[in-house]
Amino acid sequence: WQRCQVHFIRNILDACPKRHQAALKSQLRLMFNAPDMKTARNPLDDIVEEYAQKAPRAVVCLEAGFDDAMAVMALPEPYRRRLRSTNGLERLDLGALLMEQDEEWTTGRLYFRMEAYWEHKRSESDNEPAQTEPKHCRLNSTTRRRIYTTFGT
């Protein structure tokens, strides 16, 4: 179980009085940027000692979630930076949601059929050259190529 460090920091700071948040945040960053667990425990001990009286709720929160938030330390160093937050998962979820909405938009119910409109426009301007119908462009999510379609088709 890996807890997102970004959200964990927010939870700790929410439990801390405003006047101590800036200092606590910088100490938490030192702790989370430590090269290994042994080194990370030193700032943890300092934070617990310093904030036990100033921000007891923040200390309880920190102690309760420390091991979960530091689980990423078991991974090799190059992976830690990307995996210590849930940003990748959130982006994946957002991408899936957008793909789902795109599919629904392209295959869903049509609110307007444009053929009647274009027929009306053509009959209105018998003496003028026919207008070209505007086209809609969308990106194919698989091939990343543009697909042009005429409105109403």
Q: Quick one: pLDDT at residue 5?
A: 83
Task: Show me where the domains of the chain are located.
Answer: 5-88, 113-153
d(CA 149, CA 114): 12
d(CA 84, CA 5): 6
pTM: 0.57
Q: Quick one: pLDDT at residue 16?
A: 96
Q: What pLDDT tens digit does each residue of the chain (153 aa) get?
A: 677 888 899 999 999 999 999 999 999 999 998 888 899 899 999 999 999 999 999 999 999 999 988 888 887 777 777 676 665 555 555 566 666 665 555 565 665 566 776 777 777 776 555 555 545 555 555 555 655 555 554
d(CA 153, CA 151): 6
- Whose structure tokens read 């940003």? 87
Q: Where are the alpha helices (DSSP H) in 17-142?
A: 18-32, 37-51, 56-69, 77-83, 87-107, 115-124
Q: Quick one: pLDDT at residue 74?
A: 80
Q: Quick one: pLDDT at residue 6?
A: 86
